[in-house]
Amino acid sequence: MINMRGKLGGLMAAMLMSSMGLVEAIAPLTIKGNKFFDSQTGAQFYIKGVAYQLRARTDPLVDKDQCALDAALMKELGVNTIRVYQTDYSANHDDCMKIFADAGIYLFVDLANYETGINEDNPYWSQDQLSSFAATLDAFAGYENTVGFWIGNEVITKSAGERAVYFIAAAVADIKTHIKNKNYDHPIYIGYASTDNADTRPYVQNYLACNHEGFTDRDSSIDFYGVNAYEWCNPTDTFETSGYSRLTGYLSAAQYDIPAFFSEDGCNTSPPRLFEDMFSVFGPNMTDWWSGAIVYEWINESNKYGLVSYGMVKDPSTAVGGDPYERSGTPTPVTPDFSNLKTVWASVSPTSLTLSAYTPTNTQVDCPASVSAWNIDPSASIPTLGDIATSMPASTNTAASTTTSKPNSASLVKISSWPVAVVMIITTFMSMY
């Protein structure tokens, strides 16, 4: 009896404290100016993230045992954020999201899957895409540790694909209307993860953040900007030689008024990975403009970017698609890469502001003027639902891509490469019979 009363009393106290907001595993992040802050403590937040996708087309946030194993090791590494690419909006994510919240880990999720992403070679924006984006957003927006969503990942990879930028802006506008209608109890932010393409880089960065014809209050503009950066490749690289100074220059030239960070980061052409770029990312040359980085990637697979390994499958004949990498189980740190990153992250101490003491002065960027390298009309109305590419001002650009080296991840096979692969499989299959 006495025991029972004690338990009930404790439970009621916990419920009361929870309803008063006193028991909060993790506080939502908030954006002010070009920085992230913890909404409860007011401390500035820098992203120390990893890309978390164990298998292509499979949601990594549904298996609570796996999430628990990974979250514990991520915490040891110093991770405070994960980026997840492919999820299943019909699945239940409560357990995994709580496990990551308890480990102090925030989440950025991609809205597009392989079928729904905007395609630069044939851009359009449809109700099917919007419905799918909205369902993914609704599946995660309620969790306190969800910070925001990617409206697209590396959609534009070449000048000739620039017209897709109109459709990305249209997607931002419609998904922001959806967020407003849903009235979530903490801010939900929308960003774009850009390819590090020399031809389109500053234009995409600024066009997606500017205000478009017929809109106000960032209703069609992104709230944060990401670059997938693979430029710091040599052990002797510096802020200048790596190209990080140039990427920083694009933000300072625009006096960029929203947070930016590396939505993927790393280069592995000179193993082992030293992660010395983190001294720049979290150092005085970059912290005025950047809020950290998401290191690519958690699992070690054929692209060799991984920080942990689950080993190889024991019986290759059971391997999915011939892929020999185990995608679950106990994660084992890749040596010495894992401990290199852990040591570097533990040793950086970026300058830190507080929410109340910070008064942003930058204002929203202008839409970039149309120039020969960027044939996008800054004052054109962005498409509405159902529009297709030919309804927008044409691009005359045919320049080839000059994107810097990027991983060729099994997790991130682009939709544009599927038809060819599928055709090859079918052809091979048919020739066998």
Ligand X SMILES: *[C@@H]1O[C@H](CO)[C@@H](O)[C@H](O)[C@H]1NC(C)=O
Select from 66-74, 126-134, 221-229, 236-244 the region that touches ligand X (CB under 6 A): 236-244
Query: Which range binds ligand X by CB under 6 A, 162-170, 172-180, 232-240, 387-395?
Result: 232-240
Which is nearer to ligand X, 114 or 279 (by Cβ)?
A: 279
d(CA 367, CA 378): 5
184 near ligand X (CB under 6 A): no
Active site residue 120: no
160 within 8 A of 194, measured Cβ to Cβ: no
Residue selected from 92, 127, 252, 302 as contacting ligand X according to rule CB under 6 A: 302
Site string for ligand X, 191-230 (x = CB under 6 A): ----------------------------------------
Beta strands in 216-343 (DSSP E): 224-229, 260-265, 292-295, 308-309, 332-333
Identify any residues that bridge with 403 across adjacent strands, giving them in sequence order. Answer: 197
Catalytic option among 144, 154, 162, 297? 154
Do the beta carbons of residue 327 and residue 432 sit within 8 Å? no
Distance CA 295, CA 305 (A): 9
Stretch that binds ligand X, among 113-121, 142-150, 233-241, 405-413 (CB under 6 A): 233-241
154 is catalytic: yes
Kindly state the number of chain residues that form the binding site for ligand X, as judged by CB under 6 A. 13
Does 350 bind ligand X (CB under 6 A)? Our answer is no
Residues in a beta bridge with 228: 195, 264
Using DSSP bridges, classify how beta strands 81-84 and 106-110 pair: parallel, antiparallel or unpaired.
parallel
In the complex, which residue's CB is closest to ligand X?
Answer: 283
Q: How far is the CB of 308 from ligand X (least distance, A)?
A: 9
Stated as kind and residue range, the H or E segment containing 175 is helix 164-182
Stretch that binds ligand X, among 51-59, 111-119, 168-176, 237-245 (CB under 6 A): 237-245
Strand partners, 309: 332
Q: Ramachandran region of residue 119, left (φ > 0), alpha (ψ -120 to 50) or beta?
A: beta
User: Which of 177/268 has CB closer to ligand X?
Assistant: 268
Token duo for residue 110: 């991609």
User: Residue 280 Cβ, how far from ligand X at the closest point, in Å?
Assistant: 4
Q: C-alpha dihedral over 236, 250, 30, 80, to 10 degrees?
A: -20
By rule CB under 6 A, what string of x and - marks binding of each residue 127-166 to ligand X? ----------------------------------------
Calculate ∠ Cα 72-224-208, nearest 5°: 145
Q: Which is nearer to ligand X, 158 or 406 (CB)?
A: 406
CB 408 within 8 A of CB 416: no
Q: Which residues bind ligand X (CB under 6 A)?
A: 238-240, 279-280, 283, 285, 300, 302, 304, 306, 309, 334
Active site residues: 154, 264
